[in-house]
Structure 1
Amino acid sequence: MRLFTAAVPPPEVLDHLAAVLDGVDNVDWVPRNSWHITLGYYGEEDPETRVPWVRSQAKGLVAPTVSLSDAGNFGKTLWMGVSAVDSSFAALGAALEWNAHRPWHPHLTIGHGEVLDLPYSGPQWTIEEIVLLGADRRYEYTVVDRLRFAD
């Protein structure tokens, strides 16, 4: 199972983004129930090994406040950027990143298609929970573990 940690925006943030994206054509959209910000990607791994590592890495971190921002792309992959309101988001990313060969570029993948010029500034929210997700198929995720910052 491919594993990764993620932050899932609250429904009101997703509603705001969906309203802005409504009417944008020529995009193969990622299903909304799969929208998330990847914090760390671990590849094929045993969840029993990764769960304690994530819990250990996240211990003592502060819940960051973020917002979604302007659209961007990696080739044909379209995404919304993540703007950190405070430095705790960078600390979270540094703690949970595993693949040292790629710099961490926080984003929320929204679809695939031609470059999308979409200025955007979404509402702020505090990430209160990290989820460890498992994926056997694209955009079909299973929650393996949940970690609230208050825990």
Structure 2
Amino acid sequence: MRLFTAAIPPPEVADHLEAALASVPGMTYRAPRAAWHITLGYYGEEDPAGRIPWVRSRLTSVARPRVALAKLGNFGETLLMRVSTPDKRLADLAAVLRWDDKHPEYIPHLTVGRGPLVDLPYAGPEWTVDEVVLLGAEKRHDYTVVDRIGLPA
């Protein structure tokens, strides 16, 4: 099972984004809303039992970041919402969850689908990330929550 840690937007944030995406022309594929997340750390193929204690031990004193989704971007044909952060706490959170230096530059985003890049003026509501989930995946966009870890207040 492929494992990664993520922050999942709350329902009101997802509702706001879903309404904005309804007007995006030319999307050849839309990622299922249930799969929307901001990846914090990626661990590859692993047994969850070995990763859970490591993740939990890393999150004992991490501050809760405030984030918002803004500006549609792309990586090739992949469409993504960039994450706007008013402080550096999201990068700090991702840094403590990093397993290797394979991707040294952390670019927070939420994948929304595939298609040509279009101009989507968007500013989503801000929210506080108050938990991290450890997700397992057998195939793309088929995620299982393996563990939920609340962040300290």
TM-score above 0.5: yes
Is this contact kept in 1: 2:81–2:111, CA < 8 A?
A: yes
**Match for residue 102 of structure 2?**
101
**Structure 1 residues without counterparts, runs of 5 or longer:** none
Secondary structure, counterpart of 1:5 in structure 2: strand
- Tell me which amino acid in the other structure corresponds to 2:17: L
- Tell me which amino acid in the other structure corresponds to 2:23: G
**Match for residue 135 of structure 1?**
137
TM-score in terms of structure 1 length: 0.95
Provide the C-alpha distance between the structure 2 equivalents of 1:25 and 1:120, rounded to a whole number of angstroms. 15
**Match for residue 36 of structure 1?**
37
**1:4, distance to aligned residue in structure 2 (A):** 0.3
TM-score in terms of structure 2 length: 0.94
**Match for residue 47 of structure 2?**
46
Provide the C-alpha distance between the structure 2 equivalents of 1:139 and 1:111, rounded to a whole number of angstroms. 11
Secondary structure, counterpart of 2:145 in structure 1: strand
Instruction: Tell me how many residue pairs correspond in the alignment.
Output: 151
**Match for residue 79 of structure 2?**
78
**Match for residue 23 of structure 1?**
23
Provide the C-alpha distance between the structure 2 equivalents of 1:115 and 1:125, rounded to a whole number of angstroms. 26
Is this contact kept in 1: 2:62–2:152, CA < 8 A?
A: no
Provide the C-alpha distance between the structure 1 equivalents of 2:45 and 2:119, rounded to a whole number of angstroms. 34
- Tell me which amino acid in the other structure corresponds to 2:98: E
**1:110, distance to aligned residue in structure 2 (A):** 0.1
Provide the C-alpha distance between the structure 1 equivalents of 2:134 and 2:50, rounded to a whole number of angstroms. 12
**Structure 2 residues without counterparts, runs of 5 or longer:** none
Provide the C-alpha distance between the structure 2 equivalents of 1:69 and 1:95, rounded to a whole number of angstroms. 24
**1:141, distance to aligned residue in structure 2 (A):** 0.5
Is this contact kept in 2: 1:67–1:122, CA < 8 A?
A: yes
Secondary structure, counterpart of 2:4 in structure 1: strand
Percent sequence identity over matched residues? Answer: 56
Secondary structure, counterpart of 1:145 in structure 2: strand
